[in-house]
């Protein structure tokens, strides 16, 4: 059951990401300018008299798809961080693999030297 939930969540995220990323490809060149995806999104007809105006109009529609993708990625990142933050930052979490990684690589001579220097540090 847990595997089904994670597969379903991954499929849903990938579907929305694919729609937001490749949705601009639905703007076909052969479509009539009155029913293209950009005109539907903007609620206006495509400008037909100027190539620059047509390019700007469709680029603006692509920008809105890109902003939707960025927002979705930020939202997914926040959701993942909020799920993992209690596990990472809880006091009972053992983070010795992060903080004591140099301690395990020291030789016994280096450890004893460090202990001796620690005793001498506050002897004044």
Confirm if 47 and 96 have CB atoms less than 8 A apart.
no
pLDDT tens by residue, 1-28: 778 888 888 999 998 888 877 776 766 6
Give the three-class secondary structure for 109. Answer: helix
For the chain, report the end-to-end CA distance as a whole number of angstroms: 64
Per-residue model confidence as pLDDT tens digits over 63-76: 777 777 788 889 99
Q: What is the pLDDT of residues 95-106, one digit of tens each?
A: 665 565 555 677
CB-CB neighbours of 69 under 10 Å: 17
Average pLDDT of the chain to the nearest whole number: 77
Q: What is the pTM of this model?
A: 0.36
Distances (CA, A) of 96 to 54, 81, 103: 59, 21, 10
Radius of gyration of the chain (CA): 28
Q: Is the pLDDT of residue 78 over 90?
A: yes
């Amino acid at each position: 059951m847990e595997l089904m939930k994670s597969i379903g969540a991954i499929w849903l995220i990938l579907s929305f990401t694919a729609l937001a990323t490749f949705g601009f490809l639905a703007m076909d060149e052969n479509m009539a300018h009155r029913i293209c995806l950009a005109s539907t999104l903007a609620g206006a007809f495509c400008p037909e008299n100027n190539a620059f105006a047509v390019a700007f109009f469709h680029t603006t529609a692509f920008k809105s798809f890109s902003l939707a993708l960025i927002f979705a990625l930020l939202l997914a990142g926040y959701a993942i961080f909020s799920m993992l933050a209690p596990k990472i930052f809880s006091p009972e979490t053992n983070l010795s693999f992060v903080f004591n990684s140099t301690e395990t690589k020291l030789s016994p001579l280096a450890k004893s030297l460090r202990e001796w220097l620690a005793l001498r540090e506050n002897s004044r």
